Structure 1
Amino acid sequence: MSRIVTLPPVGRLLAVTDLHGNLADFHAIAARFKSLVAVPGPPPHLLFCGDLVHGPAIALTAWPEHLGDFYVDQTPRLLSEARQLATAFPGQIHFLLGNHEHAHLGGPQLSKFHPDEAAYLEGQYAAGDFDAIRQWMAGWLLAVVAPAAGIAFTHAAPHAQISGPGDLDNLKLAGYESVPLVDMSSTGPLGALLWARTTSAERAFAFLRALDPGCRVAVFGHDIVREGHLIEHEPLLCVSSSFGCYNGDKVYLEWDLARPAGSAAEVARAGLRPLYPDARPVHRT
């Protein structure tokens, strides 16, 4: 199976990162997508850049400032609604595999808010009911390419060393259960794409060229950027749409797929939009 999707050269793309069970944030981007569907023209696309699952289990009275605005984890309902959206708009909704989804597919055990995040989520389903969710996640992507725009999307930083797109198609998801979390970003292409927080410009450009010679910008999430986005250096644009941010700082990417992107700085300047336009920014300027 292919783990890369190539987007068409027309239409608008919305991309969000790391919802982590935040149903309100899901509803906000889904509403924006549906508003574009109602506009005549090429069909829009919506990309979730991984980590839809595993939200916090912290009471409002104990909620820490570093997690931004309070919310209650509603991962099961979010997953259900995301599948419904994908069914309603076939070929227009895309999902990148995140390190948190990988925990259900042979990745290492995660314990951010529970001793075993995967076991906790699966325990919220009746016996056997999570099997369909796991099968769905197993088909999620590792990269999305918008060749006319020159942009590639991954969950974490494009730190993987590959010779071509086929390298990603051949990756196996299982077998990482015993790998220490601190070693995942250096454990082959899969570990790098799901865990790396950054990479060098040389390595990033090499990854982009291997995916598509015309790619000039890498957009990803995984890390928390309190201000909403970070350009450490070209071609890296790290975006925070949800987890760990205040509502006024959360951003998503909206891009015309026919518009060539010259740099990460251009994509940030022309393409980033507030997820909640009426909310007051706390860190974002």
Structure 2
Amino acid sequence: MTVETSLADQVIARYQKAAEINLSNPNRHGNLISLPAGNDAADVMVTADLHGNRRNFQRILELAALELHPERHLVLQEVCHGGPTYPQGGGCMSHLMLEDVAQLVSQFPYRVHFLLSNHELAEMVDFPILKGGKMLNLMFRAGLQEMYGNRTADVRDAYLHFLRSLPIGVKAGKRLLICHSLPEKCDQKPFDPAVFDRPLVDEDLACQGDVGRLVWGRDFRQENADAFARQTGAQYFLTGHEPSTDGFQTPNSRQVILDCCCQNGCYAIIPVDDQISYGKLLAEVQRLHKPTPETYGM
């Protein structure tokens, strides 16, 4: 199945517009979105990894209700690599969700924040990801090829431009930092918070660069979270990256991990408040879907 050239042009234009909005956000400073406290109506709905889960994505949009809540912000993460495949060639269809995210950024400018995550970074730097015996990057490009045919390279250039425009974190008030994960061994090899402020270079995006460490890290030790807090000035972290059958985890006293691609996927709607506490953060974690008897094995 190959779309008409005009449709490919529409997708390319969508990515270009979304990238412009990302880079011109008045709340953006370097690579960090800072949402100031002071507006009692302002809140941020935080979600995590989706990996092509269309059901959960649609539920997020329903719950966010951005049209009805003009002061609300929405954080999305990691939509690439996963979900349904094309019936003929088997290519990954998650590129369609990436296009939907770009459309949301354009529809609600400066309110939808798509964070750079490890799977999107892998697309940017051509880093191969093997999962379940499948090369996810190749499946993603096979899906593009099936949809866009001889316009695939043009569409890919456009989405890479969009990915390069993504922020790497959202600061909600003074205490809460929303990012994809926490770097490993911050207590031994300090994280450089300057990557939030300055233009990124290739070394930052490598696996051992500070952005690479930020999106790939799986170090949940209390000592690591405490060190990251000292280095960033944040007190608490709302992240994704780690799969959870329960939809969320609390691995230390500073971090709450959300997962949005499982059956029990969770989200949180957090007031933009300089006085946010860990207890308040955890209290706002909710399930995307109402529990069913099957959820509890009944």
TM range (shorter): 0.7 to 0.9
Q: How far did residue 279 of structure 1 move?
A: 4.1
2:40 is the alignment partner of 1:19: no
2:64 is the alignment partner of 1:33: yes
Q: Secondary structure at the match of 2:129?
A: coil
Structure 2 match to 1:156: 181
2:123 is the alignment partner of 1:97: no
Q: Which of these residues, 265, 272, 275, is aligned with residue 285 of structure 2?
A: 272
2:35 is the alignment partner of 1:7: yes
Q: Secondary structure at the match of 2:97?
A: helix
After superposition, the CA RMSD in angstroms is 2.9
Q: Secondary structure at the match of 1:103?
A: helix
5+ residue gaps, structure 2: 1-22, 24-29
Structure 2 match to 1:83: 102
Structure 2 match to 1:204: 225
Does the CA contact (< 8 Å) of 1:37 and 1:43 recur in 2? no
User: Which amino acid is the alignment partner of residue 105 of structure 1?
Assistant: M
User: Which amino acid is the alignment partner of residue 117 of structure 2?
Assistant: G
Q: Which of these residues, 151, 159, 162, is aligned with residue 136 of structure 1?
A: 162
Q: Secondary structure at the match of 2:243?
A: coil
5+ residue gaps, structure 1: 60-71, 178-183
Distance 2:49 2:170 in 1: 16
- CA 1:174/1:76 → structure 2, altered by over 3 Å: closer, same or farther? farther
Q: Secondary structure at the match of 1:224?
A: coil
- CA 1:271/1:259 → structure 2, altered by over 3 Å: closer, same or farther? farther
Q: How far did residue 267 of structure 1 move?
A: 1.1
Distance 2:162 2:293 in 1: 37
- Mapping of residues 218-237 of structure 1, within 5 Å: 218-237=237-256
- Mapping of residues 51-200 of structure 1, within 5 Å: 51-56=78-83, 74-106=93-125, 108-113=127-132, 115-125=134-144, 126=148, 127=152, 128-148=154-174, 150-159=175-184, 161-166=190-195, 169-173=198-202, 184=207, 187-200=208-221
Does the CA contact (< 8 Å) of 1:106 and 1:175 recur in 2? no
Does the CA contact (< 8 Å) of 1:107 and 1:176 recur in 2? no
- CA 1:262/1:81 → structure 2, altered by over 3 Å: closer, same or farther? same
Distance 1:283 1:254 in 2: 25
Deviations 1:208-256 (A, max 9, x none): 3433x3x2111111111111211121112111122xx22xx21101111
User: Which amino acid is the alignment partner of residue 271 of structure 1?
Assistant: E
Distance 2:258 2:270 in 1: 14
Greater percentage in helix? 2
- CA 1:168/1:115 → structure 2, altered by over 3 Å: closer, same or farther? farther
Does the CA contact (< 8 Å) of 1:114 and 1:120 recur in 2? no
Larger Rg: 2
- CA 1:51/1:146 → structure 2, altered by over 3 Å: closer, same or farther? same
